[in-house]
Chains A and B, each alone.
Chain A
């Protein structure tokens, strides 16, 4: 048993912060005789440059040495020690900083004897960990400097245009014939107040003038996707030809679909009841009849079936209300809403302006929705005004139903192809807060309404942000898989399978949160294999393997077992 790596221990007095409580002489005595410990020094402050130099000079062969430092916590100065040593050529894998200050002398200051015993235990645990540590597996990734963008709406177009300007080759695929996404159906874009052609033209020009920098495949169909960050293989058909491409990163910008109201508010059987998109068509065709228009918000959404807010429809209705007033300034326009969602400065101003122009707002309650009246044509809308607590009847020529965006029907399939999770509503799930466009699959980014309904302005921003993230990944050159993630800068111990012991039970495959484990044929039998680019080193697989054949080399079951033994050695 054991390991011939020689362990060098250094104990830090920390100018008395440790040595005042812990009897370091006793600790030194106990450790010197400990198996594997080759040398032991006591210093004043290991974290200062002076001592660090001495420390580094003692390590002749970094690969064959393990350093065990009795010092302070990782977050206090431990991190700093490890980084500084790394700069001196000593891998952090070989350095164990054992916290005997925050975790011992400072919390047991009244119990010097117990603290000393504990420090010995902790250091023996550190020694055990270093002795039973195996060098972690590492693969180098050299990312393909090309990016795949799925969906040519505003999000996808802005991602593609940005990347091509950075000199990255882009493959832009859309199942639709023409680029522009949903905005193609819209006449004017709020809050910028430009036409959809103007809105996208600059970016589209960049793409189509890029001299082949962007390969655009309209009317194409995605067939399959494999691989992981830095190297994905994607195949699709465009016209009669099939393509297979290799890219370093994937940007999913498939947007969302417009929900139809399914007969709500008598849509489909009463003339004059339209959806927002149907009204856009009338605007585009320049045919708008009637000047008494009532908008009903939150149709088919913010209810039990679709308990989310689609974020864009309030502004869309405000815009359309103003457009009705553009056509006929005398028009009477009502917006029946539950809350007007105009956060921030630009949208709030848009709301104020709409009010100033004479758009009238009336709040209804979810459990008392408006009722559309009329025989063949719309006649009026009856609504309970939640502000004045009165029933109101509003004469109307047109009723516009503001329906939400909802996930595409094929979202499940796309999610499967790219290893994405979906949230409870069906949109693609991302890592929250500080990593809002990154997904569980490293190298796959989601932006625009595919992630959550957004206006064009946010779709464009997210497209650009996703382009930046993809660029970060593919522009860094060759790098170690364990350093690939922008999710953390620290080096991780990734899982490793002992193929002889593995019985191919598949437990690890079932639990791995990153789809990093898979069963593959090895010498005739199925064995688990770890994709080191996907693995995050969480250790879930370790905990379910029935025979210990999958391990984190830096923290193996064996090492933990030895650490536990070290705890129990003393006093028994």
Chain B
């Protein structure tokens, strides 16, 4: 309550996924100035690339979208997209954060979405951005762009400036909320899963993107080659609960496997779906009801078994999954057209940022608490959307409490 004589420092929220967005809104509504830092060009995190969400079974972007709009329109929130945190240093009880912002090239406040720049680009570096991004703006992929400048003159509102460079800046923050979430993992080092040996052995996120209503196939269930699969296997705990890769349980994959299998069934009832699982962790709010709804109908086969080897058949006609039939203890083989590897998800703080690597524990997750820094969401512990949002609010509270007890 008692205000320090020094000016109130802003709070920095790292990561614009569901956790980061919720934290930013909580803080902003309660009166803080917030800098929301997002590595990508738009907010939403992983949920933005999902199709539907359990347990509601409604579209993922819808609940997310309102919050993103609120964030963008809130006057206490300063948004930094295409920005990463480089270093954090504690100086005199405040945090000096160095940021690196990639150039946007297209000024979102001027881009009227006419799309004239797209055909001008010789290397197809310009696109209209993710399907449900907000605010809408065209984007130039900085990696692909050759700075030829062909697009600049066509833009009727002079929104394009390709002279931009990576810019460094420093923010003095009172606190940081870490909400950097997770990433997909390449699990090809675990050779038994066969990832990388066949185009239709997919990670969970790849499958979700491939089959999303807003995706390339408009919700149709098709393999990478555009064919209609007859059988799909969902392999649970692939690379998770596995001491070779991630010892932890990723907490979300049992439920999203049910979700994915169910949506396959709704769209193409003739496709056979099998879920190979260890424990079906449907313990969250209304999750068991969700589980019963899908399993009760018997349409989806549940097989309690951890598959051994997954490999491409020599003639390329399918993907073989070997497993043990627990009732007969025989090793069996089944052939599938698509195999989805659900499990391995990696907390995304450490990747590419050695300066921050010290913040995480041996499993790559953020530790419980730090001085003036509060982690929440998936980077802290694997968790679903609701838990991430709850933890984000609790972290926001910590910001207020930490500040006030410090002042005393």
Contacts and interface: CB of A to CB of B under 8 A. Distances in A.
Q: Do chains A and B touch in the complex (CB under 8 A)?
A: yes
Interface stretch (A324-332, A430-438, A500-508, A534-542): A430-438
Given A14-B114, A77-B112, A389 B327 contact: yes
25 contacts: A16-B156, A76-B113, A83-B73, A162-B401, A311-B283, A311-B284, A339-B282, A343-B249, A345-B248, A348-B241, A348-B247, A389-B326, A423-B286, A427-B285, A434-B22, A434-B63, A434-B67, A434-B385, A436-B386, A458-B390, A465-B390, A465-B391, A468-B26, A468-B400, A476-B30
Contact of B393 (A308, A432, A464): A464
Contacts of A307: 288-289, 292
Nearest to B293: A307
A15 B249 contact: no
Contacts of A150: none
Nearest to B22: A434
Given A344-B248, A345-B363, A387-B326, 20 more contacts: A16-B114, A16-B156, A45-B157, A48-B157, A72-B113, A80-B135, A166-B401, A309-B283, A339-B280, A342-B281, A344-B251, A363-B304, A386-B304, A389-B328, A434-B64, A462-B390, A465-B389, A468-B26, A468-B393, A486-B29
A309 B288 contact: yes
Interface string A76-88: 1101100100000
B228 to A, nearest CB: 31
A256 to B, nearest CB: 13
Contacts of A132: none
Q: Which of B363, B386, B392, B396 has the most CB of A within 10 A?
A: B386
Given A434-B64, A468-B26, A341 B281 contact: yes
A489 B25 CA distance: 10
Contacts of B337: none
Interface in A134-174: 162, 165-167
Given A434-B22, A472-B29, A339 B281 contact: yes
Contact of B390 (A309, A347, A437, A487): A437
Given A165-B401, A389-B327, A452 B285 contact: yes
A167 B407 CA distance: 13
Contacts of B391: 461, 465
Given A45-B112, A339-B280, A434-B389, A471 B400 contact: yes
B248 A348 contact: yes
Given A83-B73, A464-B393, A471-B400, A345 B249 contact: yes
| Size band of the interface chain B makes with A | 35 or more
A209 B80 CA distance: 42
Contacts of A476: 29-31
Contact of B283 (A79, A162, A343): A343
Interface of A: 14-17, 45, 47-48, 72, 75-77, 79-80, 83, 162, 165-167, 302, 307-309, 311, 314, 339-349, 352, 363, 386-389, 423-424, 427, 432-437, 451-452, 458, 461-462, 464-469, 471-472, 475-476, 486-490
Contact of B397 (A167, A342, A465): A465
B56 A433 contact: yes
Contacts of B283: 309, 311, 314, 341, 343
Contacts of A487: 66
B18 A434 contact: yes
A488 B70 contact: yes
A433 B327 CA distance: 39
A545 B171 CA distance: 56
Nearest to A302: B288
Interface in B106-153: 109-110, 112-114, 134-136
Contacts of A16: 114, 156
B365 interface: yes
Contacts of A343: 249, 251, 281, 283-284, 382-383
B42 to A, nearest CB: 13
- Nearest 4 A/B pairs, CB to CB: A465-B393, A345-B248, A15-B156, A343-B251
Contacts of B382: 343-345
B215 interface: no
A75 B390 contact: no
Nearest to B26: A468
A15 B304 CA distance: 61
B73 A79 contact: yes
Nearest to B368: A346
A555 B74 CA distance: 26
B385 A344 contact: no
B289 A432 contact: no
A489 B74 contact: yes
A272 to B, nearest CB: 28
